[in-house]
Amino acid sequence: MRPIVATISRSALQHNLAVAKQHAPHSKIMAVVKANGYGHGLLNVARCLNAADGFAVLGVNEAVILREAGYQQTILLLEGVFRAEELAKAAELGLDVVVHSKMQIEILLNASLTKPLHVHLKMNSGMNRLGFTPDAYAAAYQALNLSKNVAGITLMTHFATADKEPGIAAPLQVFEKTIKELPANLPVSLANSATILRHSYLRADWVRPGIMLYGASTVSGMPATAFGLKPVMQLSSEIIAVQTIAAGESIGYGNRFTATQATRIGIVACGYADGYPRHAGLLGDQHPHGAPIAVSGKVTRTLGRVSMDMLFCDITDIPEADIGSPVELWGRQVPVDAVAEAADTVGYELLCAVAARVPIKMTD
């Protein structure tokens, strides 16, 4: 077998959940486990986050997996249902559903269900992605509140700039002003990871931590460790070949790196087919020294273009490195966000993109 493996830390997941609880001590935790647990494995993550009050997923298929595995917590469909026939399964499984459009209201009102569903009514408070506008929100609430298919309603919104300025003040004001028209004491769901960490004063019945649970940064320019978070995934491999090139010689497809001096090159068993970004470190002058990578416990850089199954790294100053030497692509030494920055993306994408061919190993 190829040496590449994604090692998932149970204790890091549990630690990060505890951080979320510390920042939102008066709220219930809706752990976001969509996208196969952000690439960590849905059930791997659920087992470690069993202390959460609920799980948020994207599709009914994910909810089925969790229910069949015995999880009785609240399970929320973050985008609601996409077709009317999904409502019957949602009712059977006892799921909560987001309602964000007139179409979803219509199919819910016209459905024949064995039992009513709890609805999370989403407001578009400025992200302009999903949700009812503030002007339409009260009418959407009234339509749902009169339906026999609705067991209860949670009021919900999502903040576009919780991770940076201008922050959440303006959309929060819009949300709070709008819901004053509705009955008091309805449950509220508000906070993603950035909101939890940067705006801990915010009170909500439910908060929805996502990327922070996996130990990646949610705030540009601030490492996850600044918030006391621990990396959950360590993507590791080994050097499978070593080359020494002279000044003027190049490596890889397109000769994207040409040595200016004698350079010792390690070839690592990891490529873009494993989920590593093909263009990491090749963004012109922004990252002229490649993406960070650790070899034999020492941080160095990638070189040249990433191939489907392999990549290059500089081991000139790591003389002990040789075939079989351990490599960390990201994890404890190399934050996934640092690799993401070198690839002009975010840690979310890299974690979610880890390919199915990469084996996952759980560790304490």
Q: Which residues are part of the catalytic machinery?
A: 34, 253
Sign of the dihedral through C-alpha 40, 46, 48, 53: positive
DSSP secondary structure letter of residue 225: G
Residue 72 has, within 13 A of its CA and on its CB side, a CA count of: 0
Q: How far is CA 2 from CA 206, 323, 358, in A?
A: 43, 13, 9
Four-point Cα dihedral 238, 241, 242, 248, nearest 10: -120
Q: 108 and 90 in contact (C-beta within 8 Å)?
A: no
Q: Which of 141, 234, 235, 128 shows the shortest CA–CA distance to 186?
A: 141
As a three-state string, the secondary structure of 276-298 is CCCCCCCCCCCCCCCCEEEECCE
- Rounded Cα gap, residues 190 and 187, in angstroms: 10
Residue 350 has, within 13 A of its CA and on its CB side, a CA count of: 30
